[in-house]
């Protein structure tokens, strides 16, 4: 990483600024500003290592200026020139202006040069220690919120119109809680890379606006560009290109001078919230889709398994003529019935042999773990009981509570049949698949003992593969 040697001198005296440029341009990259507005603009455009200002200028207060520059250049070292060194001024300069170095006027070129070299060295030492540019968010490489606010203020002063897009990740909090913050950080970083790739014009900026919020600022673009940009942003996928639901919510607004740019940002945030309400169930479905994608990495079969189950559940719900609210809950249950497996060790999920008694005890805990997870999130609490009981048996010999017959929630009884069929007809680490006709025969054999006979009857009929063997029994207990 090359050293940053940008130095900003702020003074209303043009002759003094010219002198600074002559004396220090050999060793430093010198920028000069005669006003607070010019200083803020330059700090937004360039990463300043050091800022030098006078305590008192005819049209500005040096301490106040440095406090304002804190947003645009939070890591820059500050040198204040003053002819009035007193304790009260020093305290205010340190607390409000974040001043690190003081020089009493008049000071020599040699003395100022030494302080500049010291300040630039301190800045770059911290920069190398941090391993990143201080105006960038270290995780996403997007502008920090203070840096983005400084840039917005620059656009405001330049009367430059721009398009503002606020982007929110649906379900990031849940990803963090279920799978750990490292997984959530990977999602944030991947989205940031996608957004940075869209900021292709000079002046485009991407900022991390909140924990799960990004702000895209696109100067000299307007309403006519919104549709194409939304499509480009919405093309973002994560872990699985076959995802059915978008995991992002967006809000857009156009800033046109002489309005206030921060009001335009607030409007974009308001539209984001409105869009989430309008999309409603679609936005909510994106969260379980996201969870399924992550579970798919923990267990190789999980992602495909739940998607196949969702398709079968959709068909069966129509055949059973379930009311719309139960139909929707069944589809959500198909996606999340095994969410509790996040609490099961991967060595058990992927074990190629039958489980030991101890391992089987741990595996059976996933239904209760899934119940607790669903209860913890309001969007999923309505299917918590169904998750808990999807391994109960019609004859009362299931787990975790040994419910019998219609004591078991209807959706749990339905998903149990769909789950068993998919498990039998697709490869598992511990067993080769069987044919569809063999799986249907097994369901019929277990009808009335393991499964609700009415559900089995409708499922078999739906698959249009009638099987004669109606004897009762049990699907092999080696099924995980």
Q: Give the pLDDT band (50/70/90) at residue 302.
A: low
pLDDT of residue 478: 37
- Our measurement of the distance from residue 105's CA atom to the centroid of its chain's CA atoms, rounded to an integer in Å, reads 51
Q: 264 with 253: CB under 8 angstroms?
A: yes
Threshold 0.75, pTM exceeds: no
Among the residue ranges 100-104, 108-112, 325-329, 358-362, the one predicted with the least confidence is 100-104
pLDDT in tens, 428-459: 766 788 999 999 999 999 999 999 999 999 99
Which token pair is 381?
């609490």
Element holding 185 (H helix, E strand): helix 181-198
Q: Give the pLDDT band (50/70/90) at residue 91.
A: very low
Distance from C-alpha of 408 to C-alpha of 173, rounded to nearest angstrom: 31
Angle at 278 between CA 275 and CA 284, to 5 degrees: 90
Among the residue ranges 222-236, 318-332, 386-400, the one predicted with the least confidence is 222-236
* % the chain with pLDDT above 70: 80
Angle at 327 between CA 399 and CA 475, to 5 degrees: 35
Looking at every residue in the chain, the average pLDDT score rounds to 81
pLDDT of residue 56: 66
Among the residue ranges 187-196, 308-317, 341-350, the one predicted with the least confidence is 341-350
Average confidence (pLDDT) over 301-310: 76
399 against 85, higher pLDDT:
399
Q: 75 with 134: CB under 8 angstroms?
A: yes
The residue to which tokens 């003053």 are assigned: 82
Q: 459 with 418: CB under 8 angstroms?
A: yes
Number of CB atoms found within 10 A of residue 216's CB: 25
412 against 93, higher pLDDT:
412
Average confidence (pLDDT) over 396-409: 95
Which token pair is 208?
């991390």
Residues 6+ apart with CB under 8 A from 137: 143, 144, 208
Q: Which domains does the chain have, with CATH numbers?
A: 6-130 (3.40.50.2300), 145-279 (3.30.70.270), 299-463 (1.10.3210.10)
pLDDT of residue 367: 92
Q: 371 with 387: CB under 8 angstroms?
A: yes
> Is the predicted pLDDT of residue 81 greater than 90, yes or no?
no
* Nearest partner of 229 among 208, 210, 209, 248, judged by Cα: 248
Angle at 306 between CA 305 and CA 307, to 5 degrees: 95
* Nearest partner of 309 among 459, 208, 474, judged by Cα: 459
* Nearest partner of 163 among 113, 115, 199, 122, judged by Cα: 199
User: Which pairs from 147-150 meet CB under 8 Å and 24+ separation?
Assistant: 147/44, 147/71, 147/72, 147/74, 147/207, 148/205, 148/207, 148/208, 148/209, 148/215, 148/217, 149/71, 149/262, 150/40, 150/43, 150/44, 150/71, 150/72, 150/73
* % the chain with pLDDT above 90: 39
pLDDT of residue 37: 79
> Is the predicted pLDDT of residue 31 greater than 70, yes or no?
yes
pLDDT of residue 94: 47
Phi-psi region of 476 (alpha: psi -120 to 50; beta: other; left: phi over 0): beta
Among the residue ranges 39-48, 148-157, 418-427, 470-479, the one predicted with the least confidence is 470-479
pLDDT in tens, 239-277: 654 444 457 889 999 998 888 888 999 999 999 988 876
Average confidence (pLDDT) over 459-471: 62
CA R_g for the chain = 31
Task: State the DSSP code for 187.
Answer: H
> Is the predicted pLDDT of residue 412 greater than 80, yes or no?
yes
- Strands (DSSP E) contained in 190-323 are 205-208, 213-219, 248-255
> Is the predicted pLDDT of residue 316 greater than 90, yes or no?
yes
Task: State the DSSP code for 408.
Answer: S
pLDDT in tens, 145-170: 888 888 888 888 888 889 999 999 87
Average confidence (pLDDT) over 92-105: 61
Q: Give the pLDDT band (50/70/90) at residue 474.
A: very low
């Amino acid at each position: 990483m090359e050293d940053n040697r940008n130095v900003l001198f702020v003074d209303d005296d043009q002759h003094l600024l010219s002198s600074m440029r002559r004396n220090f341009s050999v060793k430093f990259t010198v920028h000069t500003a005669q006003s607070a507005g010019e200083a803020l603009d330059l700090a937004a455009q360039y990463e300043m290592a050091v800022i030098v200002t006078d305590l008192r200028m005819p049209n500005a207060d040096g301490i106040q200026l440095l406090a304002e520059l804190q947003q645009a250049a939070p890591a820059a070292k500050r040198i204040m020139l003053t002819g009035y060194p007193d304790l009260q001024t020093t305290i205010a300069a340190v607390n409000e202006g974040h001043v690190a170095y003081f020089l009493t006027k008049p000071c020599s070129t040699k003395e100022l040069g030494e302080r500049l070299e010291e300040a630039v060295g301190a800045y770059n030492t911290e920069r190398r220690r941090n391993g990143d540019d201080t105006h960038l968010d270290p995780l996403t490489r997007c502008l920090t919120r203070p840096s983005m606010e400084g840039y917005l203020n620059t656009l405001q002063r330049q009367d430059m119109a721009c398009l503002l897009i606020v982007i929110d990740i649906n379900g990031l909090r849940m990803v963090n809680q279920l799978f750990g913050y490292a997984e959530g950080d990977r999602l944030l970083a991947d989205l940031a890379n996608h957004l940075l790739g869209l900021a292709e014009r000079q002046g485009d900026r991407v900022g991390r606006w909140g924990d799960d919020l990004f702000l895209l600022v696109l100067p000299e673009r307007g309403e006519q560009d919104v549709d194409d940009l939304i499509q480009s942003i919405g093309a973002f996928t994560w872990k699985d290109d076959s995802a059915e639901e978008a995991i992002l919510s967006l809000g857009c607004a156009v800033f046109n001078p002489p309005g206030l740019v921060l009001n335009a940002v607030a409007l974009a945030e308001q539209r984001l919230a409105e869009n989430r309400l309008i999309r409603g169930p679609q936005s909510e479905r994106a969260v379980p889709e996201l969870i399924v994608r992550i579970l798919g990495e923990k267990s190789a079969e999980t992602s495909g398994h739940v998607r196949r189950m969702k398709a079968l559940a959709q068909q069966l719900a129509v055949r059973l003529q379930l009311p719309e609210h139960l139909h929707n809950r069944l589809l959500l249950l198909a996606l999340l019935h095994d969410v509790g497996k996040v609490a099961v060790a991967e060595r058990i999920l992927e074990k190629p042999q039958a489980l030991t008694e101890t391992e089987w005890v741990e595996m059976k805990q996933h239904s209760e773990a899934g119940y607790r997870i669903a209860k913890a999130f309001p969007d999923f609490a309505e299917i918590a009981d169904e998750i808990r009981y999807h391994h109960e048996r019609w004859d009362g010999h299931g787990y975790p509570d040994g419910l019998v017959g219609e004591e078991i929630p209807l959706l749990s009884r339905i998903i149990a049949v769909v789950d068993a069929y998919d498990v039998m007809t697709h490869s598992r680490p511990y067993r080769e698949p069987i044919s569809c006709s063999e799986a249907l025969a097994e369901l019929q054999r277990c009808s009335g003992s393991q499964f609700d006979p009415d559900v089995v009857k409708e499922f078999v009929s739906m698959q249009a593969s009638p099987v004669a063997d109606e004897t009762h029994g049990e699907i092999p207990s080696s099924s995980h």
